[in-house]
Structure 1
Amino acid sequence: MTRTPSDADLRAVLIALIRRAGGEVEISNAELYDAMLPDLGMRAGGFAVEEIADGIRLVLTDEHP
């Protein structure tokens, strides 16, 4: 089942991913702008959130949110 994540969901996901990456993640301005303005970047698209038995799965998509 795909659903729209809440702000709290996204904050929790970011915390979990940053912890998984060792507690720190560096993102360049170019990567941020590419993610914010996908039509101007090389990697257009968005992501989907799918509920699974014991949590959620994040999947990159070619579709805009």
Structure 2
Amino acid sequence: ILTLVPRLPFRNGGKWGDTRVELPDGRWRNQFTGQTFKREAPLQDIWARFPVALMARDQ
């Protein structure tokens, strides 16, 4: 399980540009939105629908 939460979301206006998070091997599903990601995921995509993410590795 991984939790991704922006530290200062209002300071940058929610614009993450090309900032990415490197995920451990496997396919990861955001439990809040159902989106799936592999390896390297753009924060802009992870937080596009909801301001935090709870990621669980898909089996």
**Superposition TM-score, scaled by structure 1 size:** 0.27
Question: Is the strand fraction higher in 1 or 2?
Answer: 2
Higher relative contact order structure (alpha carbons within 8 Å, sequence separation ≥ 6): 2
**Larger radius of gyration between Structure 1 and Structure 2:** 1
Question: Is the helix fraction higher in 1 or 2?
Answer: 1
